[in-house]
Structure 1
Amino acid sequence: MNQALHPFRILAPALACVVPACLVPASAQVVAPEQLAAEALPKTSQWGLGFGAGFDKSPLRDFDDEVDPLPLVLYESKHLSVFGARIDYKLPSYGPLQFRLRARYANDGYEAKDSPYLAGMEERKGGLWLGGAAIWRSGATSVAGEFTAATGDAEGKRIKLELNREFRTGAVTITPRIGAEWYDKDYVDYYYGVRANEVRAGRSAYSGDSSQAIEAGVRFGYAFQRRHNFFVDVSAKSLGSEIKDSPLVERSTESSIKLGYLYAF
């Protein structure tokens, strides 16, 4: 077997346990504040379990947005980093620059029943995305990037860059972030395209091109006696014209709010 794929053999058993419990990612962030806090603790490993809820306002027309449960899992050790639906295998670091092999579940898909406008559309599936990430840190500031490619029925590749900065006062933390994401043509076609057999009155055929999005968000955290962690995360994403031009899309932004509780063992 190709030795370059060996770390993913290590990730596979963990994914089998974690992904079913975290079908809705706890955060789409490249690097999460809870992850950074766990890494900073002087322990060989750190566990965290919790729960929450999330609401995402889809840009799709007449989409049936619902509040989704957010089971949360955090695990940090010398070689593995787990947060929500993301699992990293840690590669050697170079000073403040860390490198990871990354597996992330993304629930980007939809079904025809999710919106009257999607009637007659074939299902678009979410799935497991594999790739890598790099994280650079200086004090309370983090810059991170990731590249992932779809596996299974999903299609496409995506690149995300993100900057966040933590501000702390006592037990309260405020972590604003800004990021940019790029999607290749296959991704835009798969999730926002309209195939010839899906054309209906008021829904023309559409084949998109590569696109991008700009995201801004802020996470408010409160740590009670260090083990009890509460958070609220709010974000908004401005979509590129190649996505906005799709007949499936009715708004140029995608917004999200998540709140939850995490207990650190």
Structure 2
Amino acid sequence: MDKIRRYFITLLLAFAGFNSSTGHTQQGQSQNSQQPPQGFLYGVGIGINQEIYRGYKRRTIPLPLIGYRGEKLSVYGPFVSYQLLQHANFSVSAKLAPRFAGFDESDSNVFAGMAKRKSSLDGGIGVQYRLQSWVVEAETLVDLLGNSNGQESKLAVGYNMRFGPVLLEPKVGISYADSKLVDYYYGVRLNEATSSRMPYSAKSAFNYNAGISLSTPVFFGGMTRLGIEHHWYDTSISNSPLTDRDSGVSAFLSWSKFF
């Protein structure tokens, strides 16, 4: 995990340094000649997450999409963003996002006798900086429903590459989850311990991810998005008696169209 941490920090710093030098050489050029479309949209989506819990192979999340994109407000299914500040290539937004996580006893035998860990709704602040094809994003979200009472902060760097009607964006990221969040989803309380499931108090965690997404408007008159990410988890999570892996893959596919 230390090697992965050093690799991601080095990669993020390299991206940031290249981003900065690119900005000096290309200052004053137009960032994007076209404004994104606005209005109401509809569509469908599905997310699949390879779980690291023992006996729980994957989580499948169907998402009917009803949304809206305006000058400041963006609603994409259960994900909501409202722009609070815009200055040149820098913006600050308020965000709401569901947290599809947790388990109940029916998901795996390893959870027998444990209290349900619920999915939740997170809210907070995100910042974004765009320069030419580079995108740097950071956000801090807290649990609004009081399930874990935890918070998570993320930093990601992406690069947009266009090939005709296809937009590709490779991205790397780091996240920090505090001990309340990690312990809620991966800890074992004293009254939940058994001979095969020791009590476990999880600490805060640094997690890492790398992935690529594809967007194109060529199918059925709407926007199709496909993405895949690989996630590496901190030892605070992988050492839990509830888990048997230290990494996993997630993917999503969606299609949406403006009314």
TM-score range, shorter chain: 0.7 to 0.9
In the TM superposition, residue 179 of structure 1 has moved relative to its aligned partner by: 0.7
1:113 aligns with 2:110: no
Match of 2:35 in 1: 40
The match for 2:254 is 260
Corresponding position: 1:54 with 2:47: yes
Amino acid paired to 1:40 = Q
Residue of structure 2 equivalent to 1:230: 224
Distance 2:175 2:35 in 1: 27
Runs ≥4 residues deviating over 6 A: none
Q: Report which stretch shifted further, 133-142 or 46-55.
A: 46-55
What amino acid does structure 2 have at the position aligned with 1:115? S
CA–CA separation in structure 2 for the residues paired with 1:85 and 1:239: 25
Q: Kindly report the root-mean-square deviation, in angstroms, between the aligned alpha carbons of the 2 structures.
A: 1.9
**Aligned counterparts, 1:63-82, within 5 A:** 63-82=56-75
Q: Structure 1 residues 54 and 139, CA, compared in 2 at 3 Å: closer, same or farther?
A: same
**1:93 partner SS:** strand
1: CA distance, partners of 2:129 / 2:88: 9
The residue aligned with 2:245 is: 251
Q: How many residues align?
A: 226
Whether the aligned pair in 2 keeps the contact of 1:227 and 1:264 (CA below 8 Å) is no
Give the Å deviation of 1:65: 2.4
Q: For 1:91, what is the secondary structure of its paired residue?
A: strand
Change (3 A) 1:68 1:194: same
| Structure 1 contact 64–115 (Cα < 8 Å) conserved | no
Match of 1:92 in 2: 85
Q: 1:256/1:225 Cα in 2 relative to 1: closer, same or farther (>3 Å)?
A: closer
Match of 1:4 in 2: none
Contact 2:183 2:203 in 1 (8 A): yes
TM-score, normalised to structure 2, is 0.82
- Structure 2 unmatched runs, 5+: 1-31
Query: Alignment identity in percent?
Result: 27
Distance in 2 (CA, whole Å) between partners of 1:96 and 1:77 is 18
Which of 75-84 and 142-151 deviates more? 75-84
Of 181, 186, 189, the residue aligned with 1:192 is 186
Show structure 1 runs of 5+ residues with no match: 1-36
Which residue matches 1:211?
A: 205
Q: Name the SS of the counterpart of 2:185 in structure 1.
A: helix
Paired position in structure 2 for 1:18: none
